[in-house]
Amino acid sequence: MARIALGLSYDGAPWQGWQTQPHRRTVQDALEAALAAFVGQPVSTVCAGRTDTGVHAAQQVVHLDTGVERPEQAWVRGVNAHLPSSIAVRWARPVADDFHARFSARSRSYVYLLLEDPVRSPLWAGRAGWSFRPVDLAAMQAGAAHLLGEHDFSSFRSSECQAASPVRTLHELRIERRGRIVVFTLRANAFLHHMVRNIVGALVYVGQGRQPADWIPALLAERNRTKAAPTFSPDGLYLTAVGYPDGHGLPSTDATDEIRLGL
């Protein structure tokens, strides 16, 4: 058996998240069906980070084990021939048996795009979140500064989160404006369920003047999800990078600037 790593990109709007479901309308279901058609036998996959319904990926990393030998480009072109237009394999690499798409990862990065406009835009539907109120960039940046570092993020995780610990280390949280789009860039060792969307929701409350910037550290201290803002829309969320230690032989897995600067 050989272990193969794949780099995956997908538009999450048509799909009910990453993880396989009985209705078979998930990214994992579509990928595994395409892999099975390509190699002629069932294939199971493991991803770096499970994305929710409507969440996109510019650079998801997946691994699979197979006894079928194929050239790297054949994995790309052959599997893509069986995938819908909303999902694509971007690269393939053979990796050592000890590589694990999830457990070998040392960081994950996300970008959230927020449309600031008094009227919703059909052209951004499914691609960006929306605030009809103007947002104060400086206030959001001041609030975001309190989230950097290692914290108990209980106030920012879903009630359905199955993580053993709510403690995570947020290495980066940038907020910038590009025209009508406000761009949030987040990088952490790992994220809790709904953590990015809950952080964005809280910072949008601050940006809209509904809460002060020092509400953010107070939320951290509360460790209570019910005290925070509602979970924000999945539409503007993109998984953009998964960081691994050197030595696995993977191509660059960072598409963060591709999303940030491609507006």
The CA angle 74-79-84, to the nearest 5 degrees, is 145
Q: Is 52 a catalytic residue?
A: yes
* CB-facing half-sphere around the CA of 95: CA atoms within 13 A: 27
* CB-facing half-sphere around the CA of 196: CA atoms within 13 A: 33
Q: Which of 11, 29, 52, 235 is catalytic?
A: 52
Handedness of CA 103, 242, 111, 123 (dihedral sign): negative
Q: How far apart are CA 31 and CA 11, in angstroms?
A: 13
| Residues 164/154, Cβ–Cβ less than 8 Å | no
DSSP code, position 189? S
Question: Which residues are annotated as catalytic?
Answer: 52
